[in-house]
Amino acid sequence: MKDLRITRLRFLATTAMIGLLLGFFFLRLFLFGGNERLCLLILLLKVVGLIASWVLLLGTLRVPFFKRFCPISPYFDCRRVIDSPAGKIFGVIHTADLGVLYFGGSLLVLMFTAFSPDFYFHVVLLGGLNLLTLPYTLFSVLYQAVKVRKWCALCLIVQAVFWMEFWQFFPFLFGNRVFLDFSLNRITPLILGFGLFLGAWPLVRHLLERAYSEYAGTEQSRVKK
């Protein structure tokens, strides 16, 4: 029980720290941002997408409270969708993991560049990355409707976020032209943002699996007693 209490406290402390950092960033952006205020909705969409992807990730770990976010009904069954063959890329990488990497990495890039002269340059790059996600949204909706015949509410939320992002990125992609200079100095925030997530993710995933394994073992021992 002591280990379980420590694990919960660590989780709450980490969540609170992330929440405070995001809150401070949005407050600073709102109070002191210039034209970057126009992209506040993009940042909020990134946060929504990250949260939904994170909950889907917990579903891949078989966390019991996942069903509270996506209960089974005649039309919805998130677990059936994420456990389907289309729930993994090449049968190895969960699409939920890719969602966390996409939203988390791009959120870091925006936070790194929100107050820099190259902000719109990186917005255009992230907009191009968003374009790559759109074909998958069509495939996923079609797959759920035809193959699985069940809907994943959280998956649909993530896919809706992709299209809402596209709506926000559209003026940057097809409106005012931005000179794309791919020099190392300009793309460093992009490399850092996604590089940090890609580098840390295997360890984070391992720690999550280990933490839940210990939690499940503790719960099972408690039930037996």
pLDDT in tens, 104-131: 899 888 878 877 777 788 888 898 899 9
Give the chain's mean pLDDT.
Answer: 77
Q: What is the pTM of this model?
A: 0.78
Strand, coil or helix: what is 151?
Answer: strand
Reference 49, options 113, 95, 117; nearest CA is 95
Q: What is the three-state SS of 168-180?
A: HHHHHHHCCCCCC
**CA 163-77-79 angle, 5° bins:** 90
pLDDT at 143 > cutoff 90 = yes
pLDDT at 24 > cutoff 90 = no
The pLDDT score that the predictor gives to residue 137 is: 93
State the DSSP code for 87. Answer: G
Lowest-pLDDT range, 51-60, 138-147, 205-214?
205-214
The pLDDT score that the predictor gives to residue 221 is: 53
State the DSSP code for 115. Answer: T
Lowest-pLDDT range, 25-34, 83-92, 125-134?
25-34
pLDDT at 181 > cutoff 90 = no
Residue spans of the domains in the chain: they are 42-224
Cβ contact 17:116 at 8 Å: no
Could you tell me the CA-to-CA distances from 55 to 10, 48, 63, 68, 141 in Å, in that order?
18, 11, 10, 10, 19
Fold (topology level) of 42-224: de novo design (two linked rop proteins) (1.20.1440)
Reference 98, options 89, 107, 90, 86; nearest CA is 89
Cβ contact 114:35 at 8 Å: no
The pLDDT score that the predictor gives to residue 142 is: 94
Beta bridge partners of 88: 94
Q: pLDDT class for 63, splitting at 50, 70, 90?
A: confident
pLDDT at 139 > cutoff 90 = yes
Compute the distance between CA of residue 90 and CA of residue 99 in angstroms, rounded to an integer: 16
Cβ contact 101:198 at 8 Å: yes
pLDDT at 216 > cutoff 80 = no
Q: What is the largest CA-CA distance in the chain?
A: 67
The pLDDT score that the predictor gives to residue 160 is: 93
pLDDT at 33 > cutoff 60 = no
Cβ contact 168:42 at 8 Å: yes
Q: pLDDT class for 34, splitting at 50, 70, 90?
A: very low
Q: pLDDT class for 225, splitting at 50, 70, 90?
A: low
Q: Which helix (H) or strand (E) holds 88?
A: strand 88-89
Place of tokens 């590089």: 195
- How many CB atoms neighbour CB 38 within 10 A? 14
Cβ contact 129:46 at 8 Å: no
State mean pLDDT over 52-66: 83
State mean pLDDT over 161-181: 78
pLDDT at 35 > cutoff 50 = no
**Residue 196 amino acid letter:** L
